[in-house]
A and B are shown apart, each in its own frame.
Chain A
Amino acid sequence: MEQKQQNKKRRNLYKVYPIEENCISCRYCEVACTMVHSESKDPIKAYKLEDLLPRPTVEVEGPVSISVMCRHCKHPFCLDACISGAIWQDKNGAVHLDEDVCVGCWSCVLVCPFGAVHPHLNKRHSLKCDLCEGRDFPACVEACPNRALVYDRER
């Protein structure tokens, strides 16, 4: 019974889970993310010409590394803080950021407890994981050579 209730509460939300034990800090996820969010869809051009930032962040400390991206929180503090209305939550609970509505106030950057929304200082807007909207599978997961990222239903 208890189990059932818990299941009922689970959101129908698929997102990316990093497995730190498998991460080898190759940063392929960062590159893949930057590329699919670029105009040119070319990793070199995207990095060199388009002034883009990756949405996952590969953190490294000694032997431990982990790729951190937006958790699409049950309580998204970024949404509380957003002064322009750029951040919104869809019916499944995924958290979206409309870059053209964003005014670059960095309030979301100030409150995201995962450091998962990034300020693009030159472009004056923030950016975060959009779960590769419009693509059938997140690019970072696809790119990871070591299965350190999995696309799974929220727990």
Chain B
Amino acid sequence: MKYVIVGNSAAAVGCINGIRKVDKEGEITVITYEKEGCYSKPMIADILVDLPEEKLIYKDKKFFEQKNVRVLLGTKVIKIDPEKREVVLDTGIAENYDKLLISTGAKPFVPPIKGSEKEGVFTFTELSKAKAAKEYITKNGVKDVVVIGSGFIGLEVAYFLRKKGINVYVIELLNKVLGKALDNRGSEIVEKIMRDIGINFFFEDTIEEILGNEKVESVKLKSGKIINAEMVIVAIGVRPNTELAQTAEIKVNRGIDTNLFMETSIPDIYAAGDCVENIDITDNTKKNLPLFPLAFEQGLVAGLNMAGKKMKYLGGLPLNSLKFLEEVPVLNAGIVEPPDSTYEVLVNDRFEKRGYYRKAIIKDNRLVGFVAIGEVDRVGILTGIIRQKLDVSTFKEKLIDIDFGLVHLPKNWREARIQQDKTGYNDWRPEE
């Protein structure tokens, strides 16, 4: 059996693990156009605060050797030919496959902005780009940076730049940071912390034009304001990278369409990670959920299936940790702001006095989301409850306690999980 994996990141590593659980012999080839090896994408912004590059390594050479995987770095796959069962590389060579995984990730979304071709405009979704941005800062003595977008990446970049003493201006179309990814109270807390360290925010505004000769000199906002800055970082989100899939006419919606075995519309071609359209188990809608844990898990499920062990994906769940914010941990999962009055909301807001905030969102006696700020120990129990769609009616007011634990769950739950070791992948499916 010959496996080919396009991409060398979270989903790829999950897939390697999945394949090797079943098939110790088959040939595995990983192909990536990036040159840096298997680094951790969520950590690339940390180089702004001088994290040494070797700390970015997610899986080193030893991992690939132990798993007996051949890796082609700096090699782009330009086409998939499902008839011939091969992928065509930019070197002109073709690699044949029996099972193929597409894990081409996501691409930064860059809207058309007048002047965006100028030097000093960057996105922040690949290590090489992050390094280029850092170099530009050093070389040009950059003192002021405009960040467009206040999503996770935008805020993270803004935060690190500020820690390095740079003046940062964040431009956001909405009236709050983190948009739908965090609830209003959470956003307020995060915004306050970021303002306190000196980050400037411009809400309900957007960039109209980037001004300057060859290089960025200033930015004109829709409101008419002019901000002097030598650099612009565009961080308004990512879109699934489906280019390669489209060369084989694989079905693509808002991302590559897969079934729960992570198979695409073409036999023997699987897809996982940021390039696919995921399914959100809290509202059963399909959406893009470009998140590391989900990419890894999908890769793992794809790998198992590719190697012949049938396994259905549990479904996706939006979940985030605002990992850069040293001051206060901010964790959330699922639905964070109730979309209508059929949802029940429980809040335990002691942020001002005790430094923590917890909120639970419940629908039809099932937990569908939570926010935890300040005190975050053990909140994974809540994530598990969402995943399992447990009936929380008998203990729901406990969900927002910082001491919430397994002791509040039904005894038979504990028996099954702990005494009978029901901790396999399938053990976390909702009970019908």
Contact = CB atoms under 8 A, between A and B. Distances in A.
Interface of A: 17-18, 20, 57, 59-61, 64-66, 68, 71, 73-75, 77-78, 80-81, 83-85, 103-115, 117-119, 121, 124, 154-155
A155 B407 contact: no
Contacts of A84: 40, 43, 55, 58
A66 B58 contact: no
Nearest to A118: B377
A105 B323 contact: yes
B329 A155 contact: no
B387 interface: yes
Interface residues of B, number: 47
B317 to A, nearest CB: 9
A57 B320 CA distance: 24
Contact of B407 (A66, A78, A113): A66
A113 B379 contact: no
9 contacts: A57-B405, A68-B405, A68-B418, A75-B424, A105-B323, A106-B376, A109-B376, A111-B384, A115-B378
A64 B407 CA distance: 7
Given A59-B403, A84-B40, A109-B379, 9 more contacts: A18-B418, A71-B421, A77-B293, A105-B321, A106-B321, A109-B321, A114-B384, A118-B377, A155-B421
Nearest to B299: A80
Interface of B: 14, 40, 42-43, 46, 55, 57-59, 292-293, 296-297, 300, 319-321, 323, 326, 329, 331, 333, 376-381, 383-384, 387, 403, 405-408, 414, 417-421, 423-425, 427-428
Contact of B387 (A65, A106, A113, A154): A113
Contacts of B418: 17-18, 68, 71
B329 A106 contact: yes
A68 B59 CA distance: 30
A125 to B, nearest CB: 12
Contacts of A119: 329, 376-377
A105 B45 CA distance: 13
A75 B377 contact: no
B302 to A, nearest CB: 13
Nearest to A120: B377
Contacts, number: 137
Contacts of A77: 293, 297, 380
A71 B383 contact: no
Given A104-B323, A113-B428, A57 B378 contact: yes
Nearest to B327: A121
Nearest to A20: B414
Given A80-B297, A84-B58, A154 B421 contact: yes
Contacts of A60: 407
Contact of B323 (A61, A64, A106, A155): A106
Contacts of B319: 110-111
B330 to A, nearest CB: 9
Contacts of B378: 57, 109, 115, 118
A121 B406 contact: no
B356 to A, nearest CB: 12
Contact of B293 (A74, A80, A85): A80
Residue from B43, B58, B378 whose CB has the most chain A CB atoms within 10 Å: B378
B321 A71 contact: no
Contacts of B333: 110
B124 to A, nearest CB: 16
